[in-house]
């Protein structure tokens, strides 16, 4: 049985005349937890948006569940998407439960109202992210971490096989970020769905994921974090000398090595 | 209250109810999507449609609907291509359509029609035909909003998720622009080209200040919209003032009352107070 959920083959994506992604090839298998890592402007979000069919590739292919993103049809119901936090207007007059229901829109069907089964799925998703008590709260009255979990509940309301998260910890402080990854790691083990998250937190993410894809427009390396995240990969990703601080075998944080030119630290596209 | 027995007054009150409701419903989407300028732009562009109707000797309703729909689609098309920013597209259509209307009317020698009525509205002059056409078109708009309630909500709140979910986003956008256009057309006879955008934006913006829930915002917007049109109309008759501007002034007054009553504003003040206390304690 073919258990490939996402397949990228020689994928190139361009914005106007500039290449944003170059020759990306890798597969994500069912049940894996992948981190797409790289500095700002490395094309991580572009890759995610291409996978979702929001951007058309210049060349090469990407497929989800064996189909091109724009030909997914009913298979779209298998994909939960959690956008970047900054994209959402949390002042919108909407309560948590209704926002989560919107995530199930496609499954409910166009022109139809949510039925008992749909509300049950919404409540289950809220329970899964431990937000049942906050279901009637206006979304703007949630803390940063709660907002992020509400967005995840919205994606889970579809009961997806694949969950894709774009920079889920961008609005969280360091302590909350650690807690968030602990929680999502636990959720992944419980639900056994395929999980893909995009992040620039190389150090933190690599401790929780089962595989990483390191990007800097090109795929610098991909595979098991402990095997892939060596000095060479980090230099390829950041375009400068860099190294990991480790706690034993566990990568902890990326630091630039002394004497390097800081102007190259975070290449922006 | 003898005035209420006159047929023109009854028509005016029914018209006030219809446009108060439809403008308030559409206004919720206009406010939440930040499209207030589009509303004003399409409203001003409708002057071109009115001028064509008068020139051709056709009822301006038909030509204005076609003209406003074409303008709305033109704005949507230009901004969809992303070569022109949406506000630039609105600005271009806004001015050029008015200029076209003024030129067309200028060419017609000896023209005597009440242009002032189209610019600033006269709800007391609403005919049975105006009333029936606004009822049918208004009912159609409300029906489409009811039918696609969930879809318009998702599209307004998070257009990207709407695309990821495979919703026909382009179609929803065109439909929304078309509904804004026809809502404007059925309202200009009552409140006028210059003032109609206020009736779309102000009740919804007032409701936004008091709501933490989408349905509640829509209901409040309708209440404020109909409340403004009724109060404005009755006040204008009582004080012998122009009806359109009185309705708009009432709506604006309600907006400022809502602004000072707004829970968000009160919450902000409470947060600031709490913060001050925390800083003092430290």
Closest-approach residue (CA) in chain A for B32: A92
Name the residue facing B212 among A89, A113, A138 (closest C-beta). A138
Tokens of B240: 């012998």
CB contact under 8 A, A103 and B161: yes
User: Alpha-carbon torsion A48, A53, A59, A60, what sign?
Assistant: positive
CB contact under 8 A, B157 and A105: no
| Matching residue, tokens 């069907």 | A109
Residue A191 at interface with chain B, using a CB cutoff of 8 Å: no
Say which CATH number the domain at B154 has.
Answer: 1.10.3470.10
The two beta strands, A242-247 and A194-199, are unpaired
pLDDT-based confidence at residue A190 (cuts at 50, 70, 90): confident
| Matching residue, tokens 């402007």 | A41
Interface confidence (ipTM) of the complex = 0.85
In Å, how far from its chain's centre is CA B10? 22
Within 13 Å and on the Cβ side, how many CA atoms surround B65?
A: 13
pLDDT-based confidence at residue A268 (cuts at 50, 70, 90): very low
Residue numbers of the domain that contains B66: 2-281
Longest Cα separation, chain B: 78
Name the residue facing B214 among A98, A103, A141 (closest C-beta). A98
Q: Taking CA A157 as the corner, what is the angle to CA A156 and CA A160, rounded to the nearest 5 degrees?
A: 50
Best residue in B149, B150, B172, B264 for a mutation probing chain A (most A CBs within 10 Å): B150
Rama region for A109: left / alpha / beta (φ>0; ψ in -120 to 50; rest): left
Of all helices (H) and strands (E), which one includes residue A26? strand A18-29
Closest-approach residue (CA) in chain B for A106: B165
CB contact under 8 A, A110 and B216: no
- Mean pLDDT, range A187-205, rounded to an integer: 85
Measure B242 CA to nearest chain A CA, in Å. Answer: 35
User: With 50 as the cut, is the pLDDT of residue B92 above it?
Assistant: yes
pLDDT at B24: 97
Within 13 Å and on the Cβ side, how many CA atoms surround B189?
A: 26
Contact list in B for residue A138 (CB cut-off 8 A) is 212-213
Give the length of chain A.
269
Residue B80 at interface with chain A, using a CB cutoff of 8 Å: no
CA distance A24 to A11: 5
pTM, 2 dp: 0.86
Closest-approach residue (CA) in chain A for B212: A93
For residues B281 and A74, the model is more confident at A74
The number of domains in chain B is 1
Task: Quick: pLDDT tens for B179-210.
Answer: 999 999 999 988 888 889 899 999 999 999 99
Residue B34 at interface with chain A, using a CB cutoff of 8 Å: no
- Point out the least confidently predicted range of A50-54, A207-211, A237-241, B38-42: A237-241
Residue A120 at interface with chain B, using a CB cutoff of 8 Å: no
CB contact under 8 A, B150 and A114: yes
Name the residue facing B148 among A53, A111, A141 (closest C-beta). A111
Task: Quick: pLDDT tens for B111-163.
Answer: 656 677 788 888 888 899 999 999 999 999 999 999 999 999 999 999 999 99
Nearest residue to A38 (alpha-carbon basis) of A216, A210, A204, A231? A216
- Mean pLDDT, range A111-119, rounded to an integer: 93
Within 13 Å and on the Cβ side, how many CA atoms surround B133?
A: 20
CB contact under 8 A, B154 and A98: no
Closest-approach residue (CA) in chain A for B267: A141
Name the residue facing A92 among B149, B157, B167 (closest C-beta). B157
| Domains in chain A: ranges and CATH | 4-230 (3.40.50.300)
pLDDT at A261: 45
Measure A86 CA to nearest chain B CA, in Å. Answer: 11
């Amino acid at each position: 049985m073919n258990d490939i959920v996402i397949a990228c083959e020689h994928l190139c994506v361009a914005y106007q005349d500039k290449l944003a992604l170059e020759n990306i090839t890798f597969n994500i298998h069912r049940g894996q937890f992948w981190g797409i890592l790289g500095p700002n402007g490395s094309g991580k979000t572009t890759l995610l948006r291409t996978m979702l069919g929001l951007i058309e590739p210049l060349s090469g292919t990407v497929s989800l569940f064996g189909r091109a993103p724009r030909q997914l049809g009913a298979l779209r119901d298998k994909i939960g998407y959690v956008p970047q936090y900054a994209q959402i207007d949390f002042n919108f007059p909407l309560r948590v439960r209704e926002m989560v229901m919107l995530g199930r829109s496609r499954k409910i069907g166009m022109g139809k109202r949510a039925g008992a089964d749909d509300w049950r799925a919404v409540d289950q998703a809220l329970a899964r992210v431990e937000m049942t008590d906050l279901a009637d709260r206006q979304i703007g009255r949630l803390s940063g971490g709660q907002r992020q979990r509400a967005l995840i509940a919205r994606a889970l309301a579809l009961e997806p096989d694949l969950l894709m998260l774009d920079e889920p910890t961008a609005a969280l402080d360091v302590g909350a970020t650690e807690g968030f990854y602990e929680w999502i790691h636990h959720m992944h083990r419980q639900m056994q769905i395929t999980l893909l998250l995009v992040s620039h937190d190389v150090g933190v993410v690599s401790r929780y994921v089962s595989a990483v894809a390191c990007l800097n427009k090109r795929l610098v390396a991909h595979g098991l974090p402990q095997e892939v995240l060596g000095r060479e990969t980090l230099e390829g990703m950041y375009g400068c000398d860099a190294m990991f601080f480790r706690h034993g075998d566990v990568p902890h944080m990326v630091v630039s090595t002394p004497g390097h030119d800081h102007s190259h630290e975070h290449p922006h596209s | 209250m003898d005035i209420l027995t006159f047929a023109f007054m009854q028509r005016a009150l029914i018209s006030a109810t219809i446009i108060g409701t439809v403008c308030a419903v559409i206004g919720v989407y206009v406010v939440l999507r930040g499209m207030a300028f589009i509303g004003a732009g399409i409203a001003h562009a409708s002057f071109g449609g009115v001028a064509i109707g008068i020139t051709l000797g056709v009822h301006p309703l038909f030509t204005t609907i076609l003209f406003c729909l074409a303008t709305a689609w033109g704005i949507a098309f230009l901004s969809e291509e992303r070569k022109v920013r949406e506000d630039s597209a609105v600005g271009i259509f806004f001015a050029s359509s008015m200029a076209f209307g003024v030129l067309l009317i200028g060419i017609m020698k000896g023209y005597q029609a009440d242009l002032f009525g189209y610019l600033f509205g006269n709800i007391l002059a609403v005919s049975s035909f105006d009333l029936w056409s606004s009822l049918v078109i208004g009912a159609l708009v409300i029906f489409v909003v009811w039918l696609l309630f969930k879809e318009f909500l998702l599209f307004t709140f998070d257009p990207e998720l709407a695309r990821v979910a495979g919703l026909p986003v382009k179609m929803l956008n065109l439909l929304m622009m078309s509904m804004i256009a026809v809502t404007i057309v059925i309202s200009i006879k009552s409140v006028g080209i210059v003032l109609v955008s206020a009736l779309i934006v102000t009740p919804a913006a007032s409701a936004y200040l008091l709501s933490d829930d989408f349905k509640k915002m829509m209901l409040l917007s309708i209440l404020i919209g109909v409340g403004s049109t009724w109060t404005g109309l009755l006040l204008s008759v009582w004080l012998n003032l122009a009806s359109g501007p009185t309705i708009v002034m009432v709506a604006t007054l309600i907006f400022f009352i809502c602004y000072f009553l707004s829970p968000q504003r009160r919450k902000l003040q409470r947060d600031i107070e709490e913060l001050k206390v925390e800083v003092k304690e430290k």
